[in-house]
Amino acid sequence: MSSTATGSTDTLTPVLTSGWADERSWTLDAYARRGGYAALDKAFAMGPDAVIEAVKDSGLRGRGGAGFPTGMKWSFIPQDNPNPKYLVVNADESEPGTCKDIPLMMASPHTLVEGVILSSFAIRAHTAFIYIRGEVLHVIRRVQAAVAAAYAAGHLGRDIHGSGYDLDVVVHAGAGAYICGEETALLEGLEGRRGQPRLRPPFPAVAGLYASPTVINNVESISSVPSIIANGAEWFSSMGTEKSKGFGIFSLSGHVQRPGQYEAPLGITLRQLIDLAGGIREGHELKFWTPGGSSTPLLTAEHLDVPLDFEGVGAAGSMLGTRALQLFDETVCVVRAVLRWTEFYKHESCGKCTPCREGTWWLVQTLARLEKGQGSEADLDLLLDQCDNILGRSFCALGDGATSPISSSIKYFREEYLAHLTHGGCPFDPAASTAWSDRTVGATA
């Protein structure tokens, strides 16, 4: 039993993942056997405003990282605006460590499509877009096929289920740009431009795609809507914690016995998840981890009992983010790990604003020198000063995210940075961290 969840909810609660092992789970037939698309008629009978109310009442908060209440976001769409309204699904899953939306769309694309219909109906949109990162070919095939099947079955197109409601869905493949996970950069990409974020306000709810009212939601958020409509807001909010309601997919990766997807009520702890996953890899111990991707500050073994909800992880000095739990054991050099993430942010910086464009290059230079043991202790202060010049001063969250691994690693592992200086380089053997290192050591010992 989850100690922090309300009531007596089970430790794992497969909802989005429940059909993933079904025979040909990605097909309309398999989805229909589980009652798929039944929520549509219910929603059409309720009317758009009642659907928004239900999602508000459920307490669902955005599953793409920021945790903004989904129903509230929908209610910001000005219905007196004469422009068309649009729904855009952010399926650009690219935050390092995050790997939940991709298996969801591969195994159960109809859950997403049904969610798109319900959500579009709620905000009175007649065109919706699913923006999928281009680097996941088979996932794109499955979503394309699901949309085509939904049209053929009358779940999409004109007068859906005889309700008088029309909806078209376009599946759009991106072309490789982490920044397009940022919602306004995604809109730029969807308008056929370089993916650079827009100044807000105006917010997309008022002036989004084609300067029209637009809701942008993450795949998992939208995919949660069918179950909320089918089972009720109260059912959803009976799971999770006081301010972080419902379930979410927790993605364990790295040095754990059974990495994978674990769907649980928000508020489960990493200790519980690692227990379920059979522990950290044999003979090793947890050193550091990300709660929600590389843009969320690192945590350590001290934080195993932090409730993994928005408030709990926030109170521990990090963010729940996308529940991308990347686990690193004591063989991993934190400086190497952080340098690699920093190189990623440098590569993915869109170049629009100076603090991020220039700052990420400075961060890499300073870190690379330290990693080779060539800097001085003062470089740690320099790094923190550079972070201070980026955090809160860049155009979008990419710059902020770039500072998270650096400032948190210096906070928890300052000595390890200094060890690079005294050792004249990295004191760790990278071969000891690989997936095959222990097997060979064990076999030859």
Q: Which of residues 162-221 bind other proteins (CB under 8 A)?
A: 170-178, 189-195, 210
Closest CB to other proteins among residues 29, 358: 29
Residues 20-49 that bind other proteins (CB under 8 A): 20-27, 33-35, 38, 42
Q: Does 373 bind other proteins (CB under 8 A)?
A: no
DSSP-assigned letters across all residues of 366-393: HHHHHHTT-S-THHHHHHHHHHHHHTTT
Only segment of 71-79, 90-98, 376-384, 388-396 that touches other proteins (CB under 8 A): 90-98
Q: Does 115 bind other proteins (CB under 8 A)?
A: no
In 3D, which of 122, 128, 126 has the Cα closest to residue 75? 122
Distances (CA, A) of 176 to 75, 93, 131, 143: 32, 11, 12, 18
User: Taking the complex as a whole, how short is the minimal distance between the CB of residue 309 and other proteins, in angstroms?
Assistant: 17
Candidate residues 47, 138, 414, 423; the one interacting with other proteins per rule CB under 8 A: 138
Q: Does 310 bind other proteins (CB under 8 A)?
A: no
User: Taking the complex as a whole, how short is the minimal distance between the CB of residue 249 and other proteins, in angstroms?
Assistant: 8
User: Taking the complex as a whole, how short is the minimal distance between the CB of residue 146 and other proteins, in angstroms?
Assistant: 8
Query: Residue 329: in which H helix or E strand, if any?
Result: strand 324-329
Q: Does 318 bind other proteins (CB under 8 A)?
A: no
Distances (CA, A) of 139 to 116, 172, 183, 217: 17, 12, 21, 18
Candidate residues 264, 270, 383, 410; the one interacting with other proteins per rule CB under 8 A: 264
Residue 90 to residue 221: CA distance in whole angstroms = 10
Where would I find the H helices in 191-300? 204-207, 219-231, 233-237, 270-276
Residue 298 to residue 296: CA distance in whole angstroms = 6
Edge-to-edge strand list for the sheet holding 214-218: 168-173, 127-132, 86-91, 214-218
Closest CB to other proteins among residues 174, 197: 174
Site map for other proteins, 233-262, x if CB under 8 A? Answer: xxx--xx-------x--xxxxx---xxxxx
Candidate residues 69, 134, 154, 279; the one interacting with other proteins per rule CB under 8 A: 134
Question: How many C-beta atoms lie closer than 10 Å to residue 279's C-beta?
Answer: 15
Q: Does 385 bind other proteins (CB under 8 A)?
A: no
Are 281 and 329 in contact by the 8 Å Cβ rule? The answer is yes
For 203, which DSSP code? P
Candidate residues 227, 318, 360, 394; the one interacting with other proteins per rule CB under 8 A: 227
Closest CB to other proteins among residues 148, 393: 148
Residues 278-307 that bind other proteins (CB under 8 A): 294
Closest CB to other proteins among residues 244, 393: 244
Q: Does 363 bind other proteins (CB under 8 A)?
A: no
